[in-house]
């Protein structure tokens, strides 16, 4: 699988091994298959797990580490070796390279250096038509209050992404108590988030997909727990492990958050590449949005990823103007989704996404546009001002709902 690099690590030092594991857990280009604390057992671990690469810390015994590298080079030539050591002596580096290591990194290793080495290893093993490896993009959907349409947006973004055969997409329902993404997809899941959490250390890519519910669009669903008594089993640490496996297995992960903004939700926000905050143009919702933005702005790992999306634009009853809303929240609106109550109710009641229920409806085209933008499309200004679209699946009238300049077009990078 070319999305990720499957790793095995060996380090006799428990403290440095745990630090390395924590560092790897935050990288979407790798999946940690196995770990070991003894050099003499590691070749068997590699033979059984067959990872793409092995990280060997040499400070538990340089001579034994070198012997291990020589053994792996002959026993498992398809496994790339990365060496770590506190010593940067030239003779040691030379011996390490001769023993079969592809990379040598000084300890304590910097995140950027380790990530770069892993990217180079991934590129060398799998390559890519554009010269770049493809990681997983994670999109979190949250709301300023309940009932603003987070699940509708999350489900439809997931189905839109999954409709592209080049993508593999998972939707995680993180509204642990009252989530209903399975209802929107007319699905009766066999397994839930709790089942995957309890068995994450025993799952591989194949078993993971068997544990998820696949929709006709190609979207895989991981639903919320069935029993309320199981909610405490989902912790920030367990969620990190589940997301790590999902990111290693899918090109896109969409997270439908709860409204509690618990530590579990904040962990998902921290791990996400894009954060969509859904708001409606009414006073209670905008007031909550101001509070949320003030809090999220203080979190360095989150604040730069937040995008404000206004839902149900055009709902006349009690709505505040967009201009006043922007003044209230103190930032620009990333996107607007038009109001279409009838279509959305039919979609939910029929258990079908918008691309199946109403493929030509304005709201369907708008959500498709939002999906494209979150997936890396960019806004450019057309020279003629003509309202046309250049990206696949985008309709000409999407600009009716876009808060930018007339004549803008969308294209993929």
Q: What is the pLDDT of residue 346?
A: 94
Residue 132 has pLDDT above 60, yes or no: no
Q: What is the mean pLDDT of residues 137-143?
A: 96
Question: Alpha carbon of 271 to those of 233, 263, 266, 278, 306: distances in Å?
Answer: 19, 12, 9, 19, 13
Residue 404 has pLDDT above 60, yes or no: no
pLDDT band per the 50, 70, 90 thresholds, residue 403: very low
The band of 245, judged by pLDDT with boundaries at 50, 70 and 90, is: confident
For residue 231, give the DSSP letter.
G
Confidence of residue 220 (pLDDT cuts 50, 70, 90): very high
For the segment 34-45, the average pLDDT, to the nearest whole number, is 94
pLDDT at 208: 84
pLDDT at 235: 94
* pLDDT exceeds 50 at position 234: yes
Which regions of 294-412 does DSSP assign to beta strands (E)? 306-313, 335-338, 377-381, 408-412
The mean pLDDT value for 194-216 works out to 85
pLDDT of 204: 67
The full set of domains in the chain, from first to last, is 5-126 (3.40.50.2300), 137-412 (3.40.50.300)
Give the model's confidence band at 199: pLDDT under 50 very low, under 70 low, under 90 confident, else very high.
Answer: confident
Give the neighbor-by-neighbor strand order of the sheet with 335-338: 213-214, 220-222, 169-173, 252-256, 137-143, 274-279, 306-313, 335-338
CA distance 36 to 34: 7
Give the model's confidence band at 133: pLDDT under 50 very low, under 70 low, under 90 confident, else very high.
very low
Mean pLDDT score, 61-90: 95
Residues 6+ apart with CB under 8 A from 33: 6, 7, 8, 49, 51
- Region 359-381: mean pLDDT is 89
The yes-or-no verdict on residue 136 having pLDDT over 90 is no
Give the range among 47-61, 221-235, 322-336, 396-410 with minimum mean pLDDT: 396-410
Average pLDDT, the chain: 87
Cα–Cα distance list, 164 to 77, 157, 263, 267 (Å): 35, 12, 33, 28
Chain-centroid distance, C-alpha 295: 22
Give the mean model confidence (pLDDT) for residues 253-262: 96
The yes-or-no verdict on residue 202 having pLDDT over 80 is: no
Helix axes 14-25, 236-249, angle to 10 degrees: 60
DSSP state of 399: G
- Dist CA 309 CA 318 (whole Å): 18
pLDDT band at 319 (very low <50, low <70, confident <90, very high): confident
Q: Which residue has the higher pLDDT, 169 or 130?
A: 169
**Number of other CB atoms surrounding residue 70 within 10 Å:** 13
DSSP helix/strand/coil, 283: helix
Please report the pLDDT score of residue 92 as a whole number.
95
- Classify 404 in phi/psi space as left (phi over 0), alpha (psi -120 to 50) or beta: beta
For 34, the 3-state DSSP assignment is strand
Whether residue 264 is predicted with pLDDT greater than 90 in this model: the reply is yes
Is the pLDDT at 398 greater than 70, yes or no? no
pLDDT band at residue 159 using 50, 70 and 90 as cut-offs? very high
The rounded Cα 397 to chain-centroid distance in angstroms is: 30
């Amino acid at each position: 699988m070319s999305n990720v690099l499957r790793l095995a690590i060996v380090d006799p030092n428990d403290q440095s091994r745990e630090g390395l594991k924590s560092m790897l857990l935050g990288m979407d280009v790798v999946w940690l298959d196995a770990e070991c604390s003894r050099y003499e057992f590691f070749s068997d671990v590699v033979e059984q797990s067959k990872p793409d690469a092995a990280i060997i810390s040499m400070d538990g015994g340089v001579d034994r580490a070198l012997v291990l590298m020589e053994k792996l080079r002959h026993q498992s030539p398809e496994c790339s070796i990365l060496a770590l050591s506190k010593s940067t002596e030239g003779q040691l580096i030379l011996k390490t390279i001769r023993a079969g290591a592809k990379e040598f990194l000084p300890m304590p290793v910097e995140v950027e250096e380790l990530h770069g080495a892993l990217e180079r290893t991934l590129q060398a093993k799998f390559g890519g038509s554009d010269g770049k490896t493809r990681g997983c993009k994670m999109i979190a959907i949250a709301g300023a209050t309940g009932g603003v349409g987070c699940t509708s947006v999350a489900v439809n973004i997931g189905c839109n992404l999954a409709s592209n055969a080049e993508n593999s997409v998972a939707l995680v329902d993180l509204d642990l108590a009252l989530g209903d993404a399975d209802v929107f997809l007319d699905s009766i899941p066999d397994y839930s988030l709790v089942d995957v959490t309890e068995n994450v250390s025993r799952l591989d890519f194949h078993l993971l997909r068997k544990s998820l519910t696949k929709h006709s669009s190609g979207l895989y669903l991981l639903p919320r727990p069935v029993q309320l008594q199981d909610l405490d089993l989902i912790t920030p640490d367990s969620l990190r492990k589940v997301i790590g496996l999902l990111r290693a297995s899918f090109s896109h992960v969409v997270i439908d958050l709860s409204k509690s903004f618990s530590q579990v939700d904040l962990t998902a926000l921290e791990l996400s590449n894009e954060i969509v905050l859904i708001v409606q143009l009414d006073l209670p919702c905008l007031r909550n949005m101001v509070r949320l933005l003030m809090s999220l702005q203080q979190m360095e790992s989150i604040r730069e990823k937040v995008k404000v999306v206004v839902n149900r634009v055009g709902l006349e009853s009690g709505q505040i103007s967009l201009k006043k809303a922007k003044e209230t929240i103190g930032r620009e609106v990333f996107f607007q989704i038009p109001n279409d109550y009838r279509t959305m109710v039919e979609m939910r009641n029929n258990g079908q996404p918008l691309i199946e229920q109403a493929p030509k409806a304005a709201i369907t085209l708008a959500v498709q546009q939002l999906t494209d933008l979150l997936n890396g499309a960019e806004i450019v200004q057309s020279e003629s001002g003509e309202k046309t679209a250049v990206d696949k699946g985008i309709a000409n009238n999407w600009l009716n709902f876009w808060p930018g300049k007339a004549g803008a077009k969308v294209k993929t990078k």
